[in-house]
Amino acid sequence: MTSKFSTSTNTTNEDPREPNNCPPLTLSPDLTTERLKSSFNPLAITNFIDGSADATSKRRLLESWIIRDPTGVFSNDDNNYLHRSERHTRALAKFVRLVELSRAAGVGGKKSNNTSSSSSTSAVNHLEGEIIATPEFLTLVNAISDDPSPTSLHWVMFVPNILTLCDAEQQAQWLPLCRDWKMIGCYAQTELGHGSNIRALETTATFLKESQGAAPGGEWVINSPTLTSTKFWPGTLGKTANHAMVIARLIDGSGVDHGIHNFLVPLRSMEDHTLLPGVETGDIGPKIGYNNMDNGFARFENVRIPRRNMAMRFAVVDEEGVYEKVGAKNKKGGSGSGDAASKVAYITMMQVRAYIIHSSNDALAMACTIAIRYSTIRRQGYNADADKKREENAPNEIQVLDYRQQQYRLLPLLAASYAIFFSGKHVLARLKNIENELVSGSTAITKTIVGDIHATTSALKSYATAFTADGIEDC
């Protein structure tokens, strides 16, 4: 069967990603010679890394979509001259353009009546699915645009949290809003006082009964009781998000603290983006890097949200404020799905660690590509025999990559980038299995391997990022 990604109008060897308004790309003869010496088929390993030949075809079409866009919004020519706030605005403009293109092509579920035949749109006319939601597409966009979208955590953290921790009714209510970008979310866990130690988080969500003045059905009152309870550092929180999945201590109707749970808290109006009463939030300011992302802070003062804004897949609170874990005990008296709730609460951070491992490979691979290609075409110095005859008939200088010291420094880094890539891919696959299991309503696997995945992602994140930073310095 012919795949929908295998058909292309490009019947030549021309790279489909080459912009129409640029002269044809020419390769250095040295680079061409070295590539011909390869002991393996580069296209075969490319397809293997992408997942399949069809995936490679899809990726290149998406690259074409972005690079050939006639608006010029994806240009990076003046990025280094932009103020931080301008970088944030530019990154948002790129993202908005991506949404426009996906909708014009019928990719995001909202096909436009616009029949424009621009290459940017036609390149993805036959693609299906919400491609902007995939980690691979986000990675691709980040690499090409040099401006990771301030909305990326909406898909990487906020939506997965709804999928794994919210019940079917809540998903039916909120996911369409997420897909249509009416609800733009962030994940607000880290506080000034605590981050990974989520059991010590201080933000509170206290249940208020209808008889106590709450709206029908009861409400949660979200508060930041101390300075150290201030949510600090979450991406997308500073300016972009209008909702946050806030990690807070659940205080039931009897005043009992049941530890941390997830609560969907509106931050800004979905009509005009103004802050809602009781919410204080803002950008934390310039950083060493990643300045297009609006890492922010937030404080809450008696912010009321509906009872059903608590994630209720594994625990519920009724209208009287009574707390109960869902499936806490099965019919035989053993542990039920509620027993997995405390473990599942960690899954969002594990997913983020896995994405960081994956992106570490991207950064190291790009650095290795630049350094190795340059070392191939850059020539400097002569070998001993040639140096003796230099005055008689000076040969070409030696390629820098032919120096053993250069090979010693670069080639192990290239090998490591492959190792980090496959490690990240393996961890993402295991987390996807957990996510699929939770979506199906089971927790059998989750209860047994969450601890293992937690340890693996924590260790790999630390190792991969440190190794990548050092490797980029070498490159």
Residue 10 has what pLDDT? 41
CA 305, CA 237: separation in Å to the nearest integer? 18
Task: Give yes or no for a contact between 346 and 262, defined as CB atoms under 8 angstroms apart.
Answer: no
Position 202 pLDDT exceeds 60: yes
Percent of the chain with pLDDT over 70: 77
Position 340 pLDDT exceeds 60: no
For the chain, domains (ranges, CATH) are 29-149 (1.10.540), 184-327 (2.40.110.10), 349-474 (1.20.140.10)
CA 156, CA 190: separation in Å to the nearest integer? 16
Residue 390 has what pLDDT? 55
Could you tell me whether strands 243-251 and 185-188 are parallel, antiparallel, or unpaired per DSSP bridges? parallel
Q: What is the mean pLDDT of the chain?
A: 81
Give just the sign of the alpha carbon dihedral 295, 297, 300, 301: negative
CA 16, CA 10: separation in Å to the nearest integer? 7
Task: Give yes or no for a contact between 237 and 210, defined as CB atoms under 8 angstroms apart.
Answer: no
Position 67 pLDDT exceeds 50: yes
Segment 227-244 shows an average pLDDT of 96
Task: Give yes or no for a contact between 49 and 421, defined as CB atoms under 8 angstroms apart.
Answer: yes
Question: Where residue 64 falls among pLDDT bands split at 50, 70, 90?
Answer: confident
CA 235, CA 138: separation in Å to the nearest integer? 15
Position 27 pLDDT exceeds 90: no
Give 410: exposed, middle or buried? Use CB within 10 Å, 0-12, 13-18, 19+.
buried
Question: Where residue 9 falls among pLDDT bands split at 50, 70, 90?
Answer: very low
Q: C-alpha angle with apex 100: 98 to 101, nearest 5 degrees?
A: 65
pLDDT digits 0-9 by tens, 206-222:
999 988 988 999 999 99
Task: Give yes or no for a contact between 154 and 296, defined as CB atoms under 8 angstroms apart.
Answer: no
pLDDT digits 0-9 by tens, 83-121:
888 889 988 998 888 777 766 655 444 444 443 333 333
Position 336 pLDDT exceeds 60: no
Q: Select from 27, 60, 31 the least CA-distant residue to 43.
A: 60
Position 17 pLDDT exceeds 80: no
Phi-psi region of 387 (alpha: psi -120 to 50; beta: other; left: phi over 0): alpha
Position 445 pLDDT exceeds 70: no
**What would the two tokens of residue 250 be?**
């659940």
